[in-house]
Amino acid sequence: MTDKARTVRVTVAVSPDLGAYATGALRADQIRCALCTHAPCDCPPFGTPAYFDLIARRHGHRH
Q: Which domain holds residue 45?
A: 18-58
Does 11 reside within a domain? no
Q: Model-level pTM?
A: 0.66
pLDDT at 39: 94
Q: Which phi-psi region, left, alpha or beta, contains residue 56 (left: φ > 0; alpha: ψ -120 to 50)?
A: alpha
Report the domain count for the chain: 1
Does 4 reside within a domain? no
Does 33 reside within a domain? yes
pLDDT at 2: 63
Separation between Cα atoms, residue 16 and residue 34, nearest integer Å: 7
Does 46 reside within a domain? yes
Cβ atoms of 54 and 36 closer than 8 Å:
yes
pLDDT in tens, the chain (63 residues): 567 888 888 777 789 999 999 999 999 999 999 889 999 999 999 999 999 999 888 878 765
Alpha-carbon distances of 56 from 1, 5, 9, rounded to whole Å: 35, 26, 14
Does 48 reside within a domain? yes
Does 63 reside within a domain? no
